[in-house]
């Protein structure tokens, strides 16, 4: 990666970026049709051969023949097998029945398998067969670019993450900062709590970065062999290598990855601020675990005067304020891409945007291994961004 003194924020889309002219395709049967039959045929086909997974593909292709000024219509009849020996053998009987009455002559052609995610992709796709293009329907700030003010705010919270990831931790751990972007305040900030004592973790596991040779990784971290061995989302099983510590076992847990602890802390804050709304969510009254603990105070005071921590005092003064539903509308900032468990927890929490600095080649849930932001079966989708750090931030990480 080129060194730079600039911050750069990159949107990680819901499907892998493909070169516009290398779109995966699927085979379909198509046929020229007479315009007078078009409505009837399309109505029939929508019933007997709906193209459920190809909603972005237009059923009818229209072409004006330049010499005669006539309109030529071609319709997609149905999916075709990827391999075929005899052209018309695999046309379903229902579709086959339309061939004679409507004078069809089926042939096999290709259409793009996935909906275009950019105008450039869409233009290339339409050269093969027309598709429709809908820019992302979710209205999330930043997908179309960030304002200078937003960029500064994002950098500021990423600096908090870096400070937390390096401070007092040897080796490095992951840090998570949940922010309410509407008021630019920190709701919760936590680090991995997977080890009894992060200072004693002397695991010599090789960093997964070395093994994968991911070109996105910066040399600074790569040279620190093993320096990432304590990052929970990256090394899902390293916790099992630590000596069993019965005295301190309440301070750590294999699943206490930074995002999970931050979510817990955010929930504790909610319960503290809205003690009477527990019936709504079916939760018990539980005292916040560490809202006022000395450790928490120490952590918040080390974050500099320009970062505001939401203590919730305003909310306490204004009892009419409604309890937010989990983390709806909030952003989370992380040093490393979360693992699938953490990424799924952030779906459940209704997080709006995720920002991370480094990909997670072993277990990443947001593009490296899985891509939850593009998982259609989920009922919530966040926007994901990678933040490329400037040199001084990288140097700070390298000092660990
Ligand atoms: Zn994780």
CATH of the domain at 72: 3.30.70
**Gap between the Cα atoms of 365 and 89, Å rounded:** 42
* CA 344 – ligand 1 centroid, Å: 9
* CA 106 – ligand 1 centroid, Å: 51
pLDDT of residue 215: 36
* CA 351 – ligand 1 centroid, Å: 15
**Gap between the Cα atoms of 303 and 396, Å rounded:** 15
73 lies in the same domain as 218: no
The parts of the chain modelled with pLDDT lower than 70 are: 1-3, 17, 20, 84-88, 135-141, 144, 168-170, 196-226, 244-251, 277-321, 400
3-state secondary structure of 198: helix
* CA 131 – ligand 1 centroid, Å: 38
* CA 340 – ligand 1 centroid, Å: 7
* CA 175 – ligand 1 centroid, Å: 11
Long-range contact list for 51-55, CB < 8 A, 24+ apart? Answer: 51/76, 51/78, 51/79, 54/26, 54/28, 54/111, 54/113, 55/115
pLDDT of residue 159: 96
Q: Which of 232, 260, 227, 233 is nearest to 394 (CA)?
A: 227
Let me know if residue 126 belongs to a domain. Answer: no
* CA 241 – ligand 1 centroid, Å: 17
**Gap between the Cα atoms of 105 and 133, Å rounded:** 29
Q: Which two three-digit tokens encode residue 212? A: 């994968």
Are 60 and 95 in contact by the 8 Å Cβ rule? The answer is no
231 lies in the same domain as 324: yes
* CA 37 – ligand 1 centroid, Å: 56
Are 241 and 182 in contact by the 8 Å Cβ rule? The answer is no
pLDDT of residue 210: 46
Q: Is residue 160 classed exposed, middle or buried when 0-12, 13-18 and 19+ CB atoms within 10 A define those classes?
A: buried
DSSP assigned state of 206 = P
pLDDT of residue 18: 73
108 lies in the same domain as 171: no
3-state secondary structure of 4: coil
Q: Which domain holds residue 29?
A: 25-113
* CA 193 – ligand 1 centroid, Å: 11
380 lies in the same domain as 261: yes
């Amino acid at each position: 990666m080129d060194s730079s003194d600039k911050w750069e924020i990159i949107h990680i889309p819901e499907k892998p970026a493909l070169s516009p002219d290398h779109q995966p395709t699927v085979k379909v049967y198509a046929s020229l049709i007479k315009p007078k039959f078009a409505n009837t045929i399309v109505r029939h086909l929508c019933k007997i051969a709906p193209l459920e997974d190809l909603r972005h593909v237009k059923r009818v292709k229209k072409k004006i023949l330049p010499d005669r000024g006539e309109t030529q219509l071609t319709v997609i009849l149905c999916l075709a097998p990827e391999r075929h020996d005899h052209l018309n053998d695999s046309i379903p009987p229902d579709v086959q029945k339309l061939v004679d009455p409507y004078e069809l002559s089926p042939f096999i052609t290709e259409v793009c398998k996935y909906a275009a995610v950019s105008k450039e992709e869409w233009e290339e796709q339409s050269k093969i067969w027309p598709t429709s293009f809908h820019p992302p329907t979710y209205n999330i700030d930043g997908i179309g670019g960030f304002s200078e003010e937003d960029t500064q705010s994002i950098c500021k919270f990423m600096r908090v993450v870096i400070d937390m990831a390096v401070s007092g931790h040897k080796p490095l751990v992951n840090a998570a900062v949940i922010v309410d972007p509407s008021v630019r305040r920190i709701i919760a900030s936590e680090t991995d709590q997977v080890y009894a004592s992060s200072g004693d973790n002397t695991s010599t596991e090789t960093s997964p970065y070395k093994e994968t040779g991911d070109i996105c990784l910066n040399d600074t971290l790569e040279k620190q062999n093993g320096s990432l061995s304590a990052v929970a989302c990256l090394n899902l099983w390293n916790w099992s290598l630590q000596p069993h510590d019965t005295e301190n076992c309440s301070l750590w847990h294999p699943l206490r990855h930074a995002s999970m602890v931050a979510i817990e802390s955010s929930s504790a804050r909610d319960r503290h601020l809205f003690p009477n709304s527990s019936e709504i969510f079916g939760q018990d009254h539980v005292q916040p675990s560490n809202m006022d603990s000395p450790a928490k105070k120490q952590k918040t005071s080390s974050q500099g005067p320009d970062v505001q921590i939401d203590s919730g005092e305003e909310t306490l003064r204004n009892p009419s304020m409604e309890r937010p539903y989990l983390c709806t509308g909030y952003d989370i900032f992380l040093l490393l891409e979360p693992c699938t468990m953490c990424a799924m927890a952030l779906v459940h929490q209704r997080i709006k945007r995720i920002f991370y600095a480094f990909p997670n080649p072993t277990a990443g849930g947001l593009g490296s291994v899985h891509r939850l932001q593009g998982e259609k079966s989920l009922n919530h989708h966040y926007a994901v961004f990678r933040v490329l750090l400037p040199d001084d931030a990288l140097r700070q990480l390298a000092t660990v």
